A and B are shown apart, each in its own frame.
Chain A
Amino acid sequence: MYAAAIGFVLIVVFVPLPSLTLKGKGAVRGAMAPAEKGASSIWQRLTETAAAIRGIGGAVEKNRELSHELVRVQAELNRLRDIEADNLRLRRALDFHQASPHQMIPCDVVSRNISGWWNTVRLGKGARNGIRENRAVISPDGLVGRTTEVTPLTSDVLLVSDPACRVSAKLARANVFGLVRGTGSNLRGEPQARMEFINKDAEIRIGDEVVTSGLSTAGGAFPKGVHIGYIEKIYKDDSGLFQYAEVIPRATVGLLDYVFVVSEAKEAGK
């Protein structure tokens, strides 16, 4: 039994067949997901119990519900602001165009442990729940990241602060565009990101809000105007050709136990 298991693991690890490794990864993850789910739900229970003991008893459920509601309302607010801006512009252009409404899939975060294979956050829902690759993942604090590998039951999230992550962004105040790239963590362990390629003549100020650009919404992947963070410091690139700024992506700082995956609405409502 053990021998077989060890043999299987060795094969999965050492036989360089991408398809098999992927399947193996999927299988292992599929097998682990319920356990992870169980473990994390037990952990959740424990923390909630602790909270209850500390005297917030009935408020826990309510708190979760309200947080869910808050996310939905915030996203809705963002969307409505955008729609308002759109509406004004379109009225001027006399050209009616409907912004595609997005659907939010609430997901529990089942693991945040960083192991050899996975350096990401994992969600407890996958392709069966309508999650696709490369979808925006948001929380009440804003953009968390994007989904990368999606199996039927789980999906991985690449965080905004991951150096491999690139998100096209703009300043909420002005039409100034840039790319947000993760830069890992600073010395205090806070996740960090950097907004690059900002036009050198653009006026940016510390404290400007950075949101997703929505320039590529034609592809349907990314919603517009999702909060990413605030500008902390502004630099001029050595070449003098563009500016870049440090952004602290708040949503990845105190990552909650649940997030929402944004997908195109197949039908109205959920």
Chain B
Amino acid sequence: MAIKVKQKQESSSVVIWAVFGIMMASLLFLGSRLWNLQVRGKSGFDEVFHDQSVRRVRLPAVRGKIFDTNGEVLADSVPNYCIAIYTEEMRAPRSAVANTLELMHRIWQSIGVAPDISYRDVKRHFALTPNEPLVVWKGLDDEKLGVWQGIFGRWNDERKIPGLKKHDPLRTNRITFNTKELSKTPTSTAANTLELVYEISDRIGIPRKVRYQQIVDHIILQKPLPLLAWQNLNDATIAKWADTCSMLPGTDIYYQPARTYPFGETNAHLIGFTLAADAINEAEDTGEKIHYDMRGIEGRKGLEGTYNDLLEGEPGYNLVRIDASGYHHSDIQTRFPKPGGDLQLTIDQKIQQFAMEALLTKQDGEDPNLPVKGACVVLDPNNGDVLAMVSAPSFNPNAYMASAKYRLALNKDPFSRTFHRAVFGQYPPGSTFKPIAVLGALRNNPDYANVYHDCHNPYYVGKRRMKCWIHSRYGEHGEVNARQALMVSCNVYMFEMVQELGYEPIRDMAHEFGIGQYAGLFPNLDDPPEQKDVKYGNLPDHALNTIDACNMSIGQGAILASPLQMAMVASTIANGGRVYRPRLVKKWRNGPDDPYNTNPTWAYRQLDVPIEALEVVRGGMHDVVNHPEGSAKAAALDGVLIAGKTGSAQYKKLVDGEVVSSVHTWMISYAPYHFPKYAVAMLVEDGVSGGRSIGPRLHDLYAKIFEYDGTISKGDS
């Protein structure tokens, strides 16, 4: 017995050890496997989990502001309030009304005819007679019935659509829903969302903005994002929403940054506008994948377009955990967007408004039913600052951003309202070019100031008869010298001068003034920006023949300039020959908390002209306004001496298929004469003449400017 036991013990100990060994081995195996999975492979599995459940949403930053020189806000960021619907809360089954609406919309989409019943009718039907069939369309014509039958009839043959009966409407011209069936069918998220949209629309009394297809697309493509069912709400609508809809599940007020321009039309071309940014799916800086984009806005034209990178700021990201069906589950973390930088312009909004008012004031002989087409640029001749830059006719940038209909209408607009005439307009400068021509002649021949030419009618160059403007009024200027020629704007003097001295000195002078070159409005852009079909005026190298040279001496022919370039000419004459790069941006900063960087002024050229020659030209421009025979006496202002030069450049245009001759009327000017503070170029297309169309406008502009800066007291003008 004892032996047996002993034997048993011996044998059992072996077994026990064996079993123990096996157990330990298997435990070790399991442990190592566990280690592999839980510790070594953890990051890999985490990554897979993360990839499957985390989505990155891009959030737009708030755009920086644009200020005028005095800190007035010209472009501001404001909230665009939206009614958002969170579709993840729309998944619980709802009423049969949702099903009915969904089916209604699917049929509506395919046949293109609105149903004959409203949301309230549907609700009433389910409240009162839920088991009766519901007539949704009545009196459909055969064509629509054909479409309906083609789509839904066939569907019905292949598989049953809940709520529809086969071949029913062909007999009755109606489409009837079987509501009993609809009550038994579970509702989809899209149907529930649609019902909520109808409910909100009904309670607030605003029309539905979002279509059924947009809801479906949103649920397929943008599940974790809120659906913005209404946008750009005003206070009253938000209040109504709060008081009538805020207790409905799944809806809330959401806001996105939007843009507004307090001075709308006055600055439209200069500031530009923003439109919805294109959606992107990769971060620009890190290359991280962006799954969803709450699209912001981006600048498209004007300063908003040129400085978009500065103004835009950096978008933020929201990491969102989604659930198994792809809906928003929770926010993991948010990197807040970095607000954009600000621009401060040299523009003085007051002067900008004066310029616009003056430009839009109709003068005698202009068609009162047509909008004024033209531009006006005001520079500070002492540093090149752009004080005002307007273009007419203008458009409303706020409406442009808000309404696609408005944008479409502008595209077809015959007056090219969106065209920035002040910078991109290409016009023959006409007689405003004469100061340049005279300066060019006087540079190498200082004594030419005392040379007289006889303006007589008829006047021939070779065999071609050329006219001075006064000849068409049966007058002659007689014997005039250079200064008088500028005063009365005599063409014959220029013809004689260019024939004697040639076109080259005039061309060289015009080139130094910057005609035909990029005006360099923007800093850090020494080269003209690559833009298609944008020209910066034109200055031919050679005259084709004498006639061409004569034409160019009076600013016609192939010479072209923009109002901005002609304002630079006025400014250069005013300050004694310094050519400034026009400065539009005074300062900029990269963010609301950063210090401002100053954009320096830059006189990039000093004209090489003797002071006597400049005095002849300036004297002539003084006489234009202040001499009894001057061509722009209407511009004169009591209390301030104004100098200027008028111009009327003829061009041919097509009106109703006929070639008609018309004039672009110009004036370049500066004031006060002795210590210039302002240099102005103004142009009106299809005016009467420089003196009659622009003179009075300049008078109005200067009167307002000098009242504003305190040079003259009110009521002097």
Q: Could you list which residues of chain A lie within 8 angstroms of chain B, going by C-beta atoms? A: 134, 146, 148, 158, 164-168, 177, 179, 197, 200, 213, 215-216, 218-219, 221-222, 238-242
Q: Which residues of A contact B81 (CB under 8 A)?
A: 197
Pick the residue among A197, A219, A238, A240 that contacts B77 (CB under 8 A). Answer: A240
- The listed residue (B246, B247, B253, B592) touching A197 by CB distance below 8 A is B253
Q: Is the CB of B79 within 8 A of A241?
A: yes
User: Contacts A134-B244, A215-B235 given; 13 further ones with Cβ under 8 A?
Assistant: A134-B247, A165-B247, A166-B253, A168-B239, A168-B242, A177-B239, A215-B236, A215-B239, A218-B240, A219-B244, A239-B62, A240-B77, A241-B77
Given contacts A240-B339, A241-B62, contact A165 B246 (CB under 8 A): yes
A219 touches B253 (CB 8 A): no
* Chain B residues near A (Cβ < 8 Å): 62, 77-79, 81, 203, 235-236, 238-244, 246-247, 253, 255, 257, 336-337, 339, 592
Bound state CA distance, A165 and B62, in angstroms?
28
Interchain nearest-CB distance for A112 vs B (Å): 20
> Chain A contacts of B78 at CB under 8 A?
200, 241
Distance in angstroms between the alpha carbons of A233 and B203 in the assembled complex: 33
Inter-subunit contact A222/B243 (CB<8 Å)? yes
Q: Is the CB of B243 within 8 A of A221?
A: yes
On whether the beta carbons of B238 and A168 are closer than 8 Å, the reply is yes
B336 touches A238 (CB 8 A): yes
Roughly how many angstroms separate A242 CA and B240 CA in the complex, as a whole number? 20
Q: Which residues of chain B come closer than 8 Å to A216, judged between CB atoms?
A: 236, 239-240, 242-244
Name the distance in Å between B228's Cβ and chain A's nearest Cβ. Answer: 16
Is there contact, CB below 8 Å, between B244 and A242?
Answer: no
Q: Is the CB of A241 within 8 A of B244?
A: no
Q: Whole-angstrom distance from the CB of A30 to the nearest CB of chain B?
A: 22
Partner of B243, one of A134, A158, A239: A134
Question: Would B243 and A167 count as touching, CB distance under 8 A?
Answer: yes
Instruction: Tell me, in angstroms, the Cα distance from A239 to B61 when the chains sit together.
Output: 8
Given contacts A148-B247, A216-B243, A197 and B336 within 8 Å (CB-CB)? no
CA distance A166 to B253 in the complex (A): 10
CA distance A215 to B242 in the complex (A): 10
Identity of the chain A residue whose Cβ is nearest the Cβ of B79 in the assembled complex:
A241
What are 10 A-B interface contacts by the 8 Å CB criterion? Answer: A134-B247, A164-B247, A166-B242, A166-B253, A167-B242, A168-B243, A215-B239, A218-B240, A239-B255, A240-B62
A158/B242 contact (C-beta < 8 A), A215-B236, A239-B62, A242-B79 known = no
> Given A216-B243, A241-B79, A242-B79, do A179 and B62 touch, yes or no (CB 8 Å)?
no
Contact of A241 among B239, B240, B242, B255 (CB under 8 A): B255
A222 proximity list for chain B (CB < 8 A)? 243
**Chain B residues positioned under 8 Å from A166 (CB to CB):** 241-242, 246, 253
- Complex CA gap A134/B78 in Å reads 31
In the assembled complex, the CB of A232 is this many whole angstroms from the nearest CB of chain B, namely 21
When A and B form their complex, which 4 residue pairs have the shortest distance between CB atoms, in order from nearest?
Answer: A168-B239, A215-B239, A166-B246, A216-B240
CA distance A219 to B592 in the complex (A): 42
Q: What's the nearest-Cβ distance from chain A to residue B519, in Å?
A: 34
Tell me the bound Cα distance from A170 to B255 in angstroms: 19
Are B242 and A239 within 8 A (Cβ)?
A: no
> Complex: how many Å from CA A221 to CA B241?
12
Identify the closest chain A residue to B65 (Cβ): A240
Q: Which residues of B contact A238 (CB under 8 A)?
A: 336
Give the docked Cα–Cα distance between A183 and B204 (Å): 25
Q: Chain B contacts of A167 at CB under 8 A?
A: 242-243
Chain B residues with CB under 8 Å of A242's CB are 79, 255
**In the bound complex, CA of A38 to CA of B682 (Å):** 87
Contact between chains at A239 and B257 (CB < 8 Å): yes
Question: Do A213 and B255 touch across chains, with their CB atoms under 8 A apart?
Answer: no
Q: Which residues of A contact B236 (CB under 8 A)?
A: 215-216
Residues of A within 8 A of B592 (CB): 240
CB distance from B610 to the nearest CB of A (A): 55
When chains A and B are docked, how far (Å) is the Cα of A239 from the Cα of B77? Answer: 10
- Give the distance in Å from the alpha carbon of A241 to the alpha carbon of B79 in the complex: 6
Determine the distance from Cα of A200 to Cα of B260 in the docked complex, in whole angstroms: 13
Q: Which B residues touch A168, using CB under 8 A?
A: 238-240, 242-243
State A200–B337 Cα separation when bound (angstroms). Answer: 19
Complex CA distance for A218 and B236, rounded to whole angstroms: 10
Q: Which of B78, B239, B339 has the most CB of A within 10 A?
A: B239
Name the residue of chain B whose CB is nearest to the CB of A167.
B242
Q: How far is the CB of A146 from chain B (nearest CB, A)?
A: 8
Residues from chain B with Cβ under 8 Å of A219 in the complex: 203, 240, 243-244
B63 to chain A, nearest CB (A): 10
User: What is the bound-complex CA distance between A238 and B236, given in angstroms?
Assistant: 25
The minimal Cβ–Cβ distance linking A261 to chain B, given in whole angstroms, is 15
Q: How far is the CA of A219 from the CA of B241 in the complex (A)?
A: 11
Question: Cβ of B240: which chain A residues have Cβ within 8 Å of it?
Answer: 168, 215-216, 218-219
Contacts of A239 in B (CB 8 A): 62, 79, 255, 257, 337, 339
- Nearest A residue to B78 via CB reads A241
Q: Give the CA-CA distance A177 to B240 in the complex, in Å.
A: 12
A197 with B238: CB separation less than 8 A:
yes
Report yes or no: A241 in contact with B253, Cβ–Cβ below 8 A: no
CB of A58 to closest CB in B, whole Å:
42
Q: How far is the CA of A179 from the CA of B339 in the complex (A)?
A: 25
Shortest distance from the beta carbon of B483 to any chain A beta carbon, whole Å: 55
Assess whether A179 is in contact with B253, with CB atoms less than 8 Å apart: yes
B242: chain A residues within 8 A (beta carbon): 166-168, 179, 216
Min Cβ gap B236→A in Å is: 5
CA distance A241 to B62 in the complex (A): 8
- Given the complex, which residues of B lie within 8 Å of A218, measured CB to CB? 240
Give CA–CA (A195, B173) in the complex, Å.
Answer: 54
Q: How far is the CA of A12 from the CA of B612 in the complex (A)?
A: 104
Nearest-Cβ distance from residue A83 to partner chain B, whole angstroms? 20
Distance between Cα atoms of A166 and B238 in the complex (Å) = 10
CB contacts (< 8 Å) of B337 on chain A: these are 239
Residues on B with C-beta less than 8 A from A165 are 246-247
The answer for the CA separation of A242 and B246 in the assembled complex, in Å, is: 20
| A158–B253 touching, CB < 8 Å | no
Complex alpha-carbon distance, A114 and B465, angstroms: 102
| Whole-angstrom distance between the Cβ of A202 and the nearest chain B Cβ | 11
- Given A177-B235, A240-B62, A241-B257, the answer on whether A221 and B79 have CB atoms closer than 8 Å is no
- A158–B255 Cα gap in the complex (Å)? 25
Complex Cα spacing A165 to B244, Å: 11
What's the nearest-Cβ distance from chain B to residue A211, in Å?
13
Chain B residues whose CB sits within 8 angstroms of the CB of A241 once the complex forms? 62, 77-79, 255, 257
B683 nearest CB across to chain A (Å): 37
Q: List A contacts of B79 (CB < 8 A).
A: 197, 239, 241-242
Residues in chain A near residue B244, CB distance under 8 A: 134, 216, 219, 221
Q: What is the CA–CA distance of A124 and B657 in the complex, to the nearest angstrom?
A: 84
B238 contacts A179, C-beta separation under 8 Å: yes
